[in-house]
């Protein structure tokens, strides 16, 4: 999964002018997703067995959400 995360991050990085703003937006999304997972339960949001949300999954989901807002050329994410 980490190679997928890296590829999505690279694609996003190439498409934005303000990389600092991109990092802030993705980190804010990840923070909100993690807080929501804690409130709703991990099983509902990330398909896990509960009690342990992988930070990698949260970051991946935040990147996917941000990538869906930005056209990265061929229309495919990742």
On the 0-12 / 13-18 / 19+ scale of CB atoms within 10 A, 42 is middle
- pLDDT at position 72, please? 55
- Report yes or no: 29 and 66 within 8 Å, Cβ to Cβ: yes
User: Lowest mean pLDDT: which of 12-16, 40-44, 59-63, 73-77?
Assistant: 73-77
- pLDDT at position 73, please? 52
pTM for this one?
0.64
pLDDT digits (tens, 9 = 90+) for 30-72: 888 888 878 877 555 555 555 556 778 888 888 888 888 776 5
Q: Which two tokens stand for residue 70?
A: 């930005």
- pLDDT at position 77, please? 46
């Amino acid at each position: 999964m980490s190679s997928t995360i890296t590829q999505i991050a690279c694609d996003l990085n190439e498409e934005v002018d303000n990389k600092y703003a991109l990092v802030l937006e993705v980190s804010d999304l990840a923070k909100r997703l993690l807080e929501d997972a804690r409130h709703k339960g991990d099983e509902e949001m990330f398909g896990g067995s509960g009690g342990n949300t992988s930070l990698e999954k949260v970051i991946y989901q935040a990147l996917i959400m941000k990538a869906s807002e930005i056209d990265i050329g061929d229309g495919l994410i990742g």
